[in-house]
Structure 1
Amino acid sequence: MVRWIGAIIGLVFRGWMGGIAGYVIGMLIDNLFFNKNTGTTSGRSSAPFGSQEQTVTPGDFELNLLSLCSIVIKADGQVSQREMDYVRQYFVQAYGKERANATFRTFNEVVKKREINAQRICSYLTQRTRREVRLQIVHFLFGIAQADGTVSTSEVNQISQIAGYLGLSRGEFESLKAMFFKNADSAYKILEVEKTATDAEVKKAYRAMAKKYHPDKLQHMDEAYRAGAEEKFRNVQDAYETIQKERGI
């Protein structure tokens, strides 16, 4: 509905080009805020982010991701310039400067003025993206929180809530969190095993996590996502090597 209103307003004030622009912006609002749970719409791009049942267009994905970023940035009641710069750099690396700027422009002009509902956004993404993509989203959100040098409790709680909305398990959340918070148990948490696990259980967990976080899982994504996948994979390898040295295995 919003897309057609936007098209009419654009047509009246800006002619045919305005009508097209209004339709596109309206379509993004429709998809972002009205959480359509039907199958793939006729004419929608079958982007590689989607599952077999439903898909999400690159434009929709970017706006939804940026909305989640804004929630984490504002979680501690402060808007850190370093966190904002981190997000912008990530988007430029992932999508190129022109496309990233267009996404930020649309977000500031349209989306930012409305209430952003994390649960609704995550429900939309969960139905339309693969699990490895959602794991990378949470990894990215932790990167944002850490960008200013301090990760607050409110930021961790917000990311935990988003991870739950995205359908990730508590173990998956703790594994990703441990990649940013290093302590005596970090290596075990990354591999999603208890410190009391046997050597055989640790080896089995390492093989499972290496497969789960292998960079090939995100080869269909843009450069920034592939870099994130490689970083997670290195963390898994480092965690296993740490345990090997600790146990002498």
Structure 2
Amino acid sequence: MTTILVTGGTGTLGRLVTERLRSDGHEVRVLSRHAQPYDVDLREGGSGLDAAVAGVDAIVHCATSPRGGDERAAAQLIAAARRAAVPHLVYISIVGVDRVPFGYYKTKWAVEKLIEESGLGWTILRTTQFHNLVAQVLAGLAKLPVLLLPAGVSDQPIEVAEVADRLAELAAGAPAGRVEDMGGPQVRSFRSLASAHLRATGKRRPLLDVRLAGRAYQAFRDGHHLAPRRAVGKGTFEDFLKARSQNTR
């Protein structure tokens, strides 16, 4: 039986990866700060992390925090994986991390480079943003009387369950390096996505496109975070909104 460790295994993506791996017959260890028996803060490492990685056949690294600490956490995980001679480390990243000078993207790219230079067998999958993250951003923007949108920016959201399925497939295989990106089924303007979100939530807000400054905004306008040639996702943003509405009834 294959034993696989999923970091961030209680999160939105990690939970689904865990479920998929278990349904495929793998033994799964879930590592997060609140999951027994592997309640580990990756940034601190220590004996708990060593116990979590001991004897595993692969690690799927889903743990992340936009508040910082990802590079330190990855360094601790890589060191523990080396000590345990783990043969395969799978990492989930974001399309455009090497082309969009946005803080969180820079961190994800730095983690990619740590993994590539780790000496471990590795696989890196980049995807576009998840539906739920886009919905979360739009919900925050809709709290204002006018919904302000970044002018000229599009997105290509993807269903998180589809990403989880792909990660589980990769974890069960041999190290493959940088695999092909995964993009959602449609490249959509933010205005289109916002309109769909407002319809689904029953809210009415005037939409106002706002031009922003900076290199990161320009990179988003240029579409460096998109993967139109890898639009392999099936579920649309409307599918996600409909399913979420049904689940909250």
Using the size of structure 2 for normalisation, the TM-score is: 0.25
Greater Cα radius of gyration, structure 1 or 2? 1
Q: Which has the higher helix share?
A: 1
Q: Which has the higher strand share?
A: 2
Using the size of structure 1 for normalisation, the TM-score is: 0.25
Higher relative contact order (CA 8 A, sep 6+): 2
